[in-house]
Amino acid sequence: MKTSLLLALGAVTLAAAGCATQTTHNGTNTYILDGLVTVKKGYFADPPPTTFSSDTTQWFGHGDPSGTSISILDDAFEFNNY
């Protein structure tokens, strides 16, 4: 009973956190779970100096850069495609 109550409370909390999309002059930002994961499209800016970042074109080849940036844990980790 307690486990199902905790799972239901967790599901309600995640649903309430939701996600938001914001269109800016350099692209579109989507915030998932109140900024826990952020997806930025058309974003070619350098990551903050306190962020562990990685350029995915070095992992998977040099296709056409999309400018997509995925940050996790409020910019603690960032994966870029540019």
Containing structural domain, residue 44: 18-80
Quote the pTM value.
0.61
Note the pLDDT tens digit of each residue in 43-56: 777 787 878 888 77
* 73: helix, strand or coil: coil
Number of domains in the chain: 1
Q: Is residue 13 part of a domain?
A: no
Within-domain flag for 8:
no
At 59-74, the pLDDT tens digits run 776 667 777 888 888 8
Q: Strand pairing partners for 41?
A: 28
Does 29 map to a domain? yes
Contacts of 28 (CB under 8 A, 6+ apart): 21, 22, 40, 41, 42
